[in-house]
Amino acid sequence: MATREAFQEELNPFEIAKQQFNRAADYLNLDASLRNVLQSPKRQLIVSIPVKMDGGDVQVFEGYRVQHNIARGPAKGGIRYHPNVTLDEVKALASWMTWKCATVGIPYGGGKGGVICDPKRMSRDELERLTRRYAFEIAPIIGPDRDIPAPDVYTDEQTMAWIMDTISMVRGHTELGVVTGKPISLGGSLGRSEATARGCLYTLRQACRVMGMSLKGARVAIHGFGNAGANISHMVAADGARVVAICDSKVGLYSESGIDIQEALRHKKETSSLGGMLGVKEIPCDEVLTVDCDILLPSALENAITMANVGKVKAKIIAELANGPTTPGADRVFADQGVFLVPDILANAGGVTVSYYEWVQDQNSFFWPEKKINDTLELAMRAAFDSVYETAKRYDTDMRTGAYILAVDRVAEATRVRGIFP
């Protein structure tokens, strides 16, 4: 039965995003007209990006920028470079950003961007030319009051610096607030690089409290070792957790006694891979999702936990550092099993929250100390967790649906008050 359901399972991320939205809309009794408005992306831009490669030839890449909703403020969302980027994926990510911003109560709508490319096979110069041309192509629809990009998969603060500079050159003046996640020297915010993981840590502590568990001594598995995965690994270790499994895109590592996270970070930095690290067992990446652990942190890409492997997941608490790592079918299994799942639109919202703080600082040319950033983030994440938990209890449903009910209601109210123009 499980095999048949797994075979029929919907894996298109935008269709999944609409399912999640409609489940909350059912609880809120939203009418069909409002549903149509809220689940439809406001604007979708597809661009061709000609790039002169180091060998002298010109390759044309395809890029996207989607603005899902701006009822509560300008669009906000990352840009990812990946060979498997699709328009539907970007639409899903943009919609998740809408609900994420509403969940934590910051005045943004949802946006997202992506370019179909393999950054691991491109030189730094090629990536710079790609980034600058992409920025130029999406320039008409982005800006501090329109749509503010940020880093995502395989993009970073250098990518944002190139975009900021390109847009500034086009407009004839420096626009610090056109992107977030920038270097500190260009109007970036202290605390931004660790913000996604730190926000997750704050919600994870709350989840442990609700479940009567302690993070100290808990066995943690982390699927994905990019910026968020690497940062959360040393944060939970600092809280006393035992990290028993990690993985990057190539290999997984397992140690029942716990992995030395500082050594793993050093090894990854020196070799660009977790492979070959001494004193641990190498396992396939996807086995990290199913090792015996108390807490699982999916930190890679969407659709990591599906009906095909959900039955093997042993964690009691799951906090989604990645966007969309769990399918609706797997969600239902976790709810039936009593697994406490902190959904992506709450668990990884620390990144966009500190991006908001960065944008506020850029707009006012007044910058905050790191302690203020982290303290303000903790207050925001704890408040968001409590609101989601209370909503889930009030509607007698799971945390994901609780988060969506809270977020959709906030965006629906803003839409009702604004009205439909003309």
Active site residues: 112
Q: How many CA atoms lie within 13 A of 192 on its CB side?
A: 26
- Which residues, in sequence order, are bridge partners of residue 82? 116
Instruction: Tell which residue, 283, 339, 331, has the closest CA to residue 304.
Output: 331
- The packing angle between helices 87-104 and 13-28, to 10°, is 40
Sign of the torsion angle spanned by Cα atoms 241, 398, 290, 298: negative
How far apart (Å, rounded) are the C-alpha atoms in residues 293 and 312? 11
The alpha carbon of residue 226 and the mean position of all alpha carbons in its chain are separated, in whole angstroms, by 12
How far apart (Å, rounded) are the C-alpha atoms in residues 274 and 268? 5
Count CB neighbours of 250 within 10 A.
Answer: 12
Q: How big is the chain by its Cα radius of gyration, in Å?
A: 21
Q: Do β-strands 147-151 and 75-82 pair in parallel, antiparallel, or remain unpaired?
A: parallel
